[in-house]
Amino acid sequence: MIENTTKIIPPSNTFKNTFCVFTEVSRTEIQGKEPDYCSDSGSVYFYTEKGLYRLSNHWGRLGNCKWRLIDKGLNEHPKIKLGFALWNDFYEDNPWDFLYYLEVDFTTKTVLYQHKNNPLYDGRAVLRTSADTMKRIRQAKNIIELTNWSKHFAVADLEELRKQIVTDLIYTNLTLEEIKRNYL
């Protein structure tokens, strides 16, 4: 239920140079509410005391923000999704600070980046700049998805080698070449 008795003004750190992970929610949560803002790209925003609803067909890099959606598979509309994030879930973003770390799910073969202010960050994964994080994501995805890199390795279990290399990409500052050399 959306509380809307007075005009909500979003915190000043919401829409400029931020990282945020939204969670998909049902459209019934904004039913009967008028949008507080509609962007030129067609995204619709609803402000509440607790956070922000965003109805959009595009997520990821948005202007100077990095906003990701956790898709809960609600399938209310195949392309347009409603996401919600608490105001506290918006974290600063810039190209020079060491703000990001990687997470991997070997079951789904996904590699994502998270912000150091994420309450689930345990302090173990190496923090990197945005550019270094994107480079490590590409490298990790290539290790997980491709096989051409493995032709020089004599291993019985390629999946285990993949896990070891990707884990090293997350938890060390070694280059990919140095990591591979350690497993030859």
Neighbours of 112 (CB within 10 A): 14
Confirm whether pTM is higher than 0.85.
yes
Read off the pLDDT of residues 133-148 as tens digits, 9 standing for 90 and up: 999 999 999 999 999 9
**Confidence bin at 77 (pLDDT 50/70/90):** confident
**Amino acid letter, 115:** H
- Residue identified by tokens 């590409």 is 138
Read off the pLDDT of residues 151-161 as tens digits, 9 standing for 90 and up: 989 888 999 99
Q: How far apart are CA 50 and CA 88, in angstroms?
A: 9
- Token digits for 6? 């007075």
- Token digits for 114? 């998270």
Neighbours of 19 (CB within 10 A): 23
Read off the pLDDT of residues 109-141 as tens digits, 9 standing for 90 and up: 999 999 999 999 999 999 999 999 999 999 999
Q: Residues near 74 by Cβ (< 8 Å), separated by ≥ 6? A: 24, 25, 26, 81
- Token digits for 39? 């962007």
- Residue identified by tokens 């994501």 is 137
